[in-house]
Structure 1
Amino acid sequence: MRRWRPVAGAAALVLLVATASVPLGLYVPENVVRIAYEIEQRRIVYSWGGGHAEEPGPSKGTCKGYRGKIQPCPAARTRGLDCSGFARWVYALASGSDVLGPGNTNDHVRRMRRVQVAMPGDLVFFGKATKKAPKTHHVGIYLGNGKMMNAPETGAVVRVDDITRRKDFLGFYRL
């Protein structure tokens, strides 16, 4: 039994060194969900193209490509987030860097892998599958129990919705 002590001691030292070198901002799904709920409490409004400034976070949106119900387009004068801007900001805060990067839902889904079994913190994409790549138009953060946090539409704030609220569920994706 005593001859295993040096091996156990060496293994403990290796684990200590390895875990001590892991960055504190490492992506953890629980952090994604916690941060999403913290942002929901801020009652940040939806803004088409919002959240896509150089740095993630609320920003003024754009009216380019806007086809919303509220006319004239309010995005250029509204500081807020669209669905992909919300996901980008949450993931940046949870990981310590802009892991999703600028772009829209199509850009973000390409950085991820589809999973069959969802975990809280995964992204929920909506759109359709194509031979080359998915064509998406909406994303939310999966919370569990069929719920997602999302920036749903012009005139709304970041909120919790059932994923069945939208008809064209594409799948769950993970970094």
Structure 2
Amino acid sequence: MSGKRGALLAVVLLLLAVTASAPVKRYVLPRIVAVAYEIEQRGIVYSWGGGHAERPGPSTGTCVGYTGRIQPCPATRTRGLDCSGLTRWVYALAHGADVLGPGNTDDHVRRMRKVRSPLPGDLVYFGKRAKERLRTRHVGIYLGGERMLHAPETGATVRVDDIARVRGFLGFYRY
């Protein structure tokens, strides 16, 4: 009898070890969507360069490189998020770590892999293809049904929109 118990215990311990070391990324996508909807409810405003402080989350922005329609640039006095700052914060909250880092959309897309069949929680990028390189200019969080959460532009708040509203679709990417 003790031989059977020992074998059973060994199988249970083996199963625990295998499942404990299994990647958990597949379970993060639904969490990303839940966090995205939570953040949408906060009414956070767009700020050029916002969300790129040492830690992810709303911050004042920068006017370096700003070409927006609202002049003079309001970013240095506006606490908020730009599009990559939003995705950085949502992914950090969902993953429990700053997985995308403080860079811009070009930096973030390099950490991702392109997917043909998107799932809610993937990122959707916009911009241009330049030879074998992407030149991104915008990113949003895919919610399903051709909709995304994004920080669209100066003067707007983080919101849900149809993907088709933004030109230059490059594709869906997964961390």
TM > 0.5 fold call: yes
Q: Secondary structure at the match of 2:97?
A: coil
1:169 aligns with 2:169: yes
User: Aligned partners of 1:169, 1:26: CA distance in 2, in Å?
Assistant: 25
* 1:12 to partner: Cα distance: 3.1
Q: Deviations over 1:44-72 (max 9, x none)?
A: 00000000000000000000000111111
Q: Distance in 1 between matches of 2:43 and 2:72?
A: 23
1:103-137 superposed Cα distances (whole Å, 9 cap, x missing partner): 11000001101011100000000011223321000
Change in Cα spacing, 1:24 to 1:167, as seen in structure 2 (3 Å) is: closer
Once the two structures are superposed, what CA deviation does each residue of 1:8-30 show, in whole Å capped at 9, x if it has no partner? Answer: 65343222234456799996000
CA distance in 2, matches of 1:5, 1:55: 50
Distance 1:101 1:136 in 2: 16
More deviation in 150-159 or 5-14?
Answer: 5-14
Instruction: Let me know the Cα RMSD of the aligned residues.
Output: 2.4
Aligned counterpart, 2:95 = 95
Q: Which amino acid aligns with 2:106?
A: N
Q: CA-to-partner distance for each residue in 1:29-54, whole Å, 9 max, x for gaps?
A: 00100000001111000000000000
Structure 1 residue runs of 4+, over 4 Å off?
3-9, 20-27
1:83: how far off? Answer: 0.1
- TM-score between the two structures when normalised by the length of structure 1: 0.90
TM-score normalised by L of structure 2: 0.90
Find the residue that maps to 1:28 and give its secondary structure. helix
| Counterpart position of 2:59 | 59
Matching residue of 2:84? 84
The percent of aligned pairs where both chains have the same amino acid is 67
* 79-88 or 23-32: bigger deviation: 23-32
Question: Which residue of 2 is the match for residue 159 of structure 1?
Answer: 159
For 1:130 and 1:12, the matched residues in 2 are separated by: 53
Task: Specify the code of the residue in structure 1 equivalent to 2:90.
Answer: V
Cα 1:117/1:23, change in 2 over 3 Å: closer
Q: How many residues were matched structurally?
A: 173
> By how many angstroms is 1:5 displaced?
8.5
Measure how far apart 1:167 and its partner are: 1.7
Unpaired runs of 5+ residues, structure 2, are: none
**DSSP 3-state at the match of 2:65:** coil
Letter of the 2:118 counterpart: A
CA separation of 1:126/1:15 partners in 2, compared to 1, >3 Å: closer, same or farther?
same
SS at match of 1:42: coil
**Given the superposition, is the C-alpha separation of residues 27 and 63 from structure 1 closer, same or farther in structure 2, using an over 3 Å criterion?**
farther
Structure 1: any 5+ residue segments left out of the alignment? none
1:34 aligns to what? 34
Task: State the alpha-carbon separation in 2 of the partners of residues 25 and 77 from structure 1.
Answer: 37
For residues 113-165 of structure 1, the C-alpha deviation after alignment (integer angstroms, 9 at most, x for no partner) is 10111000000000112233210000000000000000000001110000000
Q: Distance in 2 between matches of 1:161 and 1:68?
A: 20
Counterpart position of 1:111: 111
